[in-house]
Amino acid sequence: MCEYKPLSTIALSHYLTIELTPMQDTFGRTVDYLRISVTEACNFRCIYCAPNGHSTPSGSPLSVEDIQRVVRAAVALGITKIRLTGGEPLLRRDIVKIVRAISSIDGVQDLALTTNAFLLGRLARELADAGLRRVNISLDTLQRDRFTHIVGVDAFDAVWAGIREAEAVGFAPLKINVVAMRGINDDEFTNFARLTLDHPWHVRFIELMPVGSTNVAQEFFDQHFISAAELIARLPELAKSDSPQGSGPARTYRLPEAQATIGFITPASEHFCNACNRLRVTAQGAICACLFGDRGEDMRGALCEGISEIKLQELLARAIDSKPEQHPFGDGFKITSVDAMSKIGG
């Protein structure tokens, strides 16, 4: 653990007086969104995320104080949207404290969290009271036995209860993320789409990504990838629709008379890098300018050394300036670290 130095009066004054204009990268994209992985740990073993299982976390994650300082610096650069990810962020015993610390920062306009919802039923109310406003929930099947096969844990009932509690406490828009996999859950796409008729839950289908460097991992991707274009063709009743808050890169549609929308996210078949507005911070404090790029500046050491708030802003600004024009999908690209998604935060 580091010994934290208090903010100087000058630094605090800077936060209160700076003009919050979002930065642009070298390709003219406005960057106003920061995703923070608060832990590498996960209680699920999803077959598409970690083909050989999750490894032991590489160290302790950033502290609440570290995270709060990073968010303050990001807000000073014009970032207004924060999402907490993992691993599974609800495994952090201090997750409510993290949410409260971030929500107290002037300039944070949107605070959201991505979760597998296993622990959400018991934490949703506390998180809402602490200032969390939205959640995205990963759910790749509506069948209990298939759920156990996909995530490695018999937890469907707990996840479903978490979804219902998220709705009850008022998280909105509430989104269900479905990783689309041919031969595994593609027979359920219509059932997922029909959830939007009966519930105010926005369903988003996400294309499978090539995670893992082994032949088995590549074979899994080759066998089970299904494009968003094929999914859309299977649902001819869809009509284009306005996007809900925080829709990100999703192409959005709606069934007739539906309460909510259906989105399609296409990282593999049709990249959306031209509209990328985000930075990522790993649980260990590295800044990632691209989900699939190299790790950037290491903020953890700088935070431990008592870096000034201006210097912390400069680290983030350099990361924004280093954003590539597009990710390297194609040409046989793979996410080669077996636990890359849990370390970066997806």
For 304, the 3-state DSSP assignment is helix
- CA 198 to chain centroid, in Å, comes to 26
Q: Quick check: 290 and 229 in contact, CB under 8 A?
A: no
Instruction: Report the predicted TM-score, pTM, of the whole model to 2 decimal places.
Output: 0.88
- Residue 276 confidence (pLDDT): 86
User: What does the domain layout of the chain look like in residue ranges?
Assistant: 21-344
Confidence of residue 6 (pLDDT cuts 50, 70, 90): very low
For tokens 């219902």, the residue is 164
Q: Quick check: 269 and 252 in contact, CB under 8 A?
A: no
251-254/262-265 β-pairing: antiparallel
**CB contact burial 275-306 (16+ within 10 A = b; e otherwise):** ebbbbbbbbbbbbbbbbbeeebbebbebbeee
pLDDT tens for each residue of 175-188: 999 999 999 999 99
Whether a cis peptide bond, with omega within 30° of 0, leads into 87 is yes
Topology adopted by domain 21-344:
TIM Barrel (3.20.20)
342: nearest Cα among 96, 86, 142: 86
Which has the minimum average pLDDT: 150-154, 216-220, 230-234?
A: 216-220
- Tell me the sheet residues that pair with 30: 24
Confidence of residue 11 (pLDDT cuts 50, 70, 90): very low
pLDDT at 160 over 60: yes
How far, in Å, are 166, 319, 341 from residue 179 at the CA level?
Answer: 20, 29, 13
Residue 44: partners with Cβ closer than 8 Å, 6 or more residues away: 88, 116, 118, 151, 152, 153, 155
Distance, in Å, from the CA atom of 334 to the CA atom of 346, rounded to the nearest integer, reads 14
How far, in Å, are 1, 220, 270 from residue 223 at the CA level?
Answer: 45, 5, 19
Report the mean per-residue pLDDT for the chain. 86
Mean pLDDT of 73-92: 96
- Residue 267 confidence (pLDDT): 84
